[in-house]
Amino acid sequence: MSELHYKTLSETAAMLQAGEITAEQAVQACLDRIEATEPSVKALISVQGEQALAKARELDGQGPDPAKPLWGVPMVLKDLLTTKGVTTTCASKFLENFVPFYDATVVEKLDAAGAICIAKANMDEFAMGSSTENSAYFKTANPWDLERVPGGSSGGSGATVAAGQCAAALGTDTGGSIRLPASFCGVTGLKPTYGRVSRYGMVAFGSSLDQIGPMARSVEDCARVLQVIAGHDPKDSTSVDCEVPDYLAGLDRKDLSGLTIGLPEQYWPDPDKEGGLSPEVDQACRNAVAKMEELGAKTVPVQLGLTDYAIATYYIIAMAEASSNLSRFDGIRYGKRAENAEELIDLYTKSRTQGFGDEVQRRIIIGSYVLSAGYYDAYYGKAAKVRRLIRRNFDKAFESCDLIAGPVCPTTAFKSGEKADPLQMYLIDIFTISCNLAGLPGMSMPVGLGADTNMPIGLQLLGPSFSEDLMLSAANTLEKNLPPMPSPGL
């Protein structure tokens, strides 16, 4: 069933519903692909092959079910979504043996829709990173060039889709962690509006920033997955109780007439200046915007004047929330427990030192510092105020446009080990983090390969709160009018 490797989720689902293939065949094809590519890509922390095949055989015994939109579709989950009876490690030694007793809400919804979860994807430890080099187990490679990173923190989710190991995957996005790996790996990734998708059962990094979203090979695929996982969840206090539109209904749009696209100058820095876009990213994204204009969209300049402050604002808030969230990992209740501790404080210290990697410890320390009594107002308090101003700037920009467009990242995927300085790594997120601070939806879609690196480039679309339907509609129309994205030569 090698022809299934690079079929879209929508194509695979249609074949399954028509009886052209069985669920067992779909799962086995993915498991064969994993066996062939995983030694070099290393996208997955664990594979639930026998469990997935058993579920597939059960579904085949019942027959295709039109009421289950993802019936028999093989999917992968980022390894910070709790899965009943299956380890959830967050790519950390602290949780290497943690087996949850319940499923995350999104996992329950996928199961109810007939999807088959075949593996858990590698990631930066506790979702802290932009390259999937911070996993406690191994680094994930980019399927387009094994010497380059896949982005992060959902790098395993992006790489497994790009490598043809599954039809789609779930990632999480705290500051660009779906959109960046989607861009680097040449797939489509969607970060929903904060509150659109339940966070229940997701191990939190930054509770006011994290959102779960789909990563797949087409815009339509992302729409299909979002249709399943979106909606209010009474178990999640951050979940918003509002109607979920039909995301597939708007995908038949023929052109972009009547749509106004905002182009913030802060997201299009001069490629000839230091700190600007790489020429290949600038050219590919401008070509995509030009295609949107050809399809009838109007483009207007907009201002997002606090972009230069977004990095500092984001990392103060994110690290403060990480410090708070990770305080529960103390070596007492579950997870890593140091064996050579002599007293309680010694147990806390040694368990956390042995269980957490360098980047996680760095963020906990900084987060604790900005929340401390002497510095709370100077750092966290000011960051919270700037965050509100960033949201107001977006609201003002959307008064003159329907969507905002720009590059996902200033460069294509960089080589492993190239960004050794943490500050250099943080700056990779310059175009993505404001979206999370404002709680808005955003997505990355591939718009071609770089002229110099031959690596994928993603265009980012941002919209007002709960405008995923408009965003998906516009992105799908653009996708249909761009040259097809090739597959990596694995």
Tell which residue, 359, 444, 432, has the closest CA to residue 129: 359
Do residues 44 and 19 make contact, with C-beta atoms less than 8 angstroms apart? no
DSSP state of 148: B
> Is residue 379, in this structure, part of any structural domain at all?
no
State the virtual CA torsion across 381, 310, 149, 76 in degrees, nearest 10. 70
Mean pLDDT of 64-68: 97
- Identity (one letter) of the amino acid at 467? S
The stretch 410-424 carries a mean pLDDT of 91
Please report whether residue 84 resides in a domain.
Answer: yes
Q: Who's near 56: CB < 8 A, 6+ residues apart?
A: 22, 23, 24, 26, 27, 28, 72, 116
> Would you tell me the crossing angle of helices 468-480 and 219-229 to the nearest 10 degrees?
160
Instruction: Answer whether residue 106 is part of any domain.
Output: yes
pLDDT at 102 (0 to 100): 97
Q: Catalytic one among 7, 42, 68, 78?
A: 78
What φ, ψ does residue 448 adopt, rounded to 5°?
Answer: 135, -175
Identify whether 434 is a catalytic site residue: no
CA atoms within 13 A on the CB side of 476: 21
Catalytic residue among 92, 131, 153, 239: 153
Q: Which among 293, 171, 251, 283 has a CA at the least distance from the CA of 472?
A: 251
Measured distance CA(460)–CA(250) in Å, rounded: 19
Q: 210 vs 33, 178, 190, 198, 290, CA distance in Å?
A: 31, 11, 13, 10, 32
How far is residue 406's CA from residue 267's CA, in Å, rounded to a whole number? 6
Q: What pLDDT was estimated at residue 470?
A: 98
Is 90 exceeded by the pLDDT of residue 5? no
Tens digit of each residue's pLDDT (9 = 90 or more) over 358-407: 999 999 999 999 999 989 999 999 999 999 999 999 999 999 999 999 99
The range of the structural domain enclosing residue 253 comes to: 2-257+443-460+471-480
Residue 254's CB is within 10 A of a number of other CB atoms, namely 10
Cα–Cα distances in angstroms (integers) from residue 24 to residues 7, 31, 33, 45, 118, in the given order: 16, 10, 14, 22, 12
| Residues 250-277, mean pLDDT to the nearest whole number | 91
The length of the chain in residues reads: 490
As given in the structure block, the two tokens for residue 231 are 């909606």
Does residue 269 lie within any of the structural domains?
Answer: no
From 10, 130, 135, 177, the catalytic residue:
177
**Which CATH number do you get for residue 98?**
3.90.1300.10
Task: Answer whether 271's CB lies under 8 Å from 282's CB.
Answer: yes
| Separation CA 243–CA 444 (nearest Å) | 24
Break the chain down into helix, strand, coil percent, rounded to 5. 40, 15, 45
Give 437's contacts (C-beta < 8 A, 6+ positions apart).
Answer: 209, 310, 313, 314, 317, 387, 390, 391
CA 360 to CA 101: how far, in whole Å?
25
Report yes or no on 48 lying in a domain: yes
Is 354 within a domain? Answer: no
**Contact criterion met (CB below 8 Å) for 215 and 154:** yes
* pLDDT for the residue 489: 83
- Environment class of 9 (CB within 10 Å of its CB; exposed 0-12, middle 13-18, buried 19+): buried
Residue 427: is its pLDDT beyond 90? no
The three-state secondary structure class of 24 is helix
- Averaged pLDDT, 151-162: 98
Q: Is residue 28 part of a domain?
A: yes
Dump pLDDT digits (tens) for 99-140: 999 999 999 999 999 999 999 999 999 999 999 999 999 999
157 is a catalytic site residue: no
Collapsed DSSP state (helix, strand, coil) of residue 286: helix
Is the confidence at residue 223, as pLDDT, over 60? yes
190/322 Cα distance (integer angstroms): 23
Give me the pLDDT at residue 4, please: 84
pLDDT class of 422 with cuts at 50, 70, 90: confident
pLDDT of residue 333: 85
Question: Residue 273's pLDDT is what?
Answer: 78
The SS3 call for residue 156 is helix
Residue that has been written with the tokens 């996005």 in this structure:
173
206 with 321: CB under 8 angstroms?
yes
Residue 77: strand pairing partners: 120, 170
Task: Report the pLDDT value the prediction gives residue 1, as an integer from 0 to 100.
Answer: 52
Give just the sign of the alpha carbon dihedral 447, 452, 454, 460: negative
Q: What percentage of the chain reaches a pLDDT higher than 90? A: 92
Helices assigned H by DSSP within 163-201:
179-185
Is-contact 435 393, C-beta < 8 A? no
Q: Edge-to-edge strands of the sheet including 168-173?
A: 44-47, 116-121, 74-78, 168-173, 211-216, 188-191, 442-449, 456-462, 403-407, 260-264, 298-302
In a domain? residue 53: yes
- Rounded to an integer, what distance in angstroms lies between the CA atom of residue 215 and that of residue 267? 23
What mean pLDDT is reported for the chain? 96
CB 478 within 8 A of CB 292: yes
Tell me whether residue 177 is one of the annotated catalytic residues: yes
Q: How many domains does the chain have?
A: 1
What pTM value is reported for the model?
Answer: 0.96
Residue 420's pLDDT is 83
Strand, coil or helix: 424:
helix
Number of helices (H) and strands (E) in the chain: give both, helices first.
Answer: 15, 11
